[in-house]
Amino acid sequence: MTFQALLVSKDDESATILTGVLSGLGVEAARCGYSDGICQLTEQHFDAVIVDFDDPHSAELVLQTVLQSTPQNHVVTVALLSDKSKLRNVFGKGANFVLYKPFSTEQAEAGLRAATVLLKRERRSSFRVPVQVPVQLKVQDDPETEGILLDLSEDGLDLLAAQPVRAAAAIQVKFSLPDGKEIEARGEVAWANPNGQAGVHFLNLPATLRTTLQNWVAANAPEPPPPDPEPVTQCKLTDLSVGGCYVETESPFPERAGITLLLRAEGMEAQAEGTVRVMHPGFGMGIEFAARTADERAQVTSFIGFLSSRPGTLPELLITPRALAEESQSEAAHAESEELDDPLLELLRGHEALSQEEFLQALRQQRSSTEEVAPA
């Protein structure tokens, strides 16, 4: 599987390194200047766009063109940045990833590894199989209603409801596949139109149900679906709470990315879905757990207790992306998380007011404070 990337840069040295690294990752890169880049974006689809911020104004125009030409935000964007103090501004302009210049081949490989995994995830999540069957809907506190399923993937579905639904609302769906298998799942409304059409992203699917959906999609698709993206394993858990965690890795995922995190230690296992709240290029990321139910929080709480009872135990981490840009938490779920007394979660949510150095310093202070009050 080959992906197409547009590289907008006048820096020959950086372009040479990136072209070679991207080729090794299965990405073909076309290089051009800023003006030509804007023209190509209006005429051709690219899976990824890499833009050099040596000319900030022109680079911002390139990212603006990406956002305007792909409103569903399925293009992975990477900024090349020489001034680290401009990081938050670059993220605000639409960059998902940042590579600090100058960079070596090894640094480029680490920085683009997560981007390539996300490309595969986006390709797979957009792979849907048309199917029209009745579906029963229950949106939060609203009465149960009916609709028609339009298409289905292992990650979600599109439907046409009898009544319009609200974006970001929690939803339960129930339907029978044409082969008779009954499907019942929870999810969140990712987008919705006034005519009742909506997209639903599944949440916390049991492994057996996910396998059922994967098998059905593979058996009924006109062509084989893209392979699963491989998890990122080169990472170290440094901080963990009921509400979130911080992970050190050279290949962090971008802010707002939806991820699934699997923790394993001495036979104990916990799985959590979450959203990346803060990303430090080449260093790490802070993740807020979705924790939409008491059961989900209990699973993380149990794992924390397990680690606390075994000082020095280092858990194995597997982090897999679910979406390039996760939708906001539903109001009910956010209200429940607000009730948690969780300093780490508060730090993750307030990161925008802090530089990377300030954030990490606050993280270390919080960690030291927790260790001081921990039982011997």
Lowest mean pLDDT among 66-75, 203-212, 238-247: 66-75
Q: Which two tokens stand for residue 114?
A: 């997560």
Apex 40 CA angle, 39 and 44, nearest 5? 135
- The predicted model gives 60-74 an average pLDDT of 80
Q: What phi and psi values does residue 22 have, to the nearest 5 degrees?
A: -60, -40
User: How sure is the predictor about 373, in pLDDT bands with cuts at 50, 70 and 90?
Assistant: very low
Structure pTM? 0.78
Q: Which residue has the higher pLDDT, 23 or 340?
A: 23
Q: Is the model's pLDDT at 301 over the cut of 60? A: yes
Residue-averaged pLDDT of the chain: 88
Among 118-127, 148-157, 172-181, 205-214, the least confident range: 118-127
* pLDDT at 70 (0 to 100): 63
Query: Above 70 in pLDDT, residue 17?
Result: yes
pLDDT digits (tens, 9 = 90+) for 320-362: 988 888 755 544 445 455 556 899 999 999 999 999 999 999 9
Domains assigned to the chain:
3-125 (3.40.50.2300), 129-220 (2.40.10.220), 235-373 (2.40.10)
Place of tokens 């901080």: 239
What is the pLDDT confidence band of residue 115, given thresholds at 50, 70 and 90?
very high
Question: What pLDDT is attached to residue 331?
Answer: 43
Angle 25-253-19 from CA coordinates, rounded to 5°: 30
315 phi/psi in degrees, rounded to 5: -75, 150
Joined tokens for residue 16:
């040479």
pLDDT, position 341: 81
| pLDDT-based confidence at residue 221 (cuts at 50, 70, 90) | confident
CA distance 282 to 98: 9
- Secondary structure letter of residue 358 according to DSSP: H
Higher pLDDT pick, 117 / 328: 117
- Name the E strands within the chain: 3-8, 27-32, 48-52, 76-81, 97-100, 129-130, 134-139, 145-152, 156-161, 170-176, 182-192, 197-202, 235-240, 244-249, 258-265, 268-280, 284-289, 316-323
In the structure, what pLDDT confidence band is assigned to residue 270 with cuts at 50, 70 and 90?
confident
User: How many CB atoms sit inside 10 A of residue 225's CB?
Assistant: 16
pLDDT at residue 155, as a whole number: 84
Question: 3 pairs with which residues across the strands?
Answer: 27
Q: Check residue 327 and give its pLDDT.
A: 55
What is the per-residue pLDDT for 200? 92
Percent of all residues in the chain with a pLDDT value above 70, rounded to a whole number = 92
pLDDT of residue 355: 92
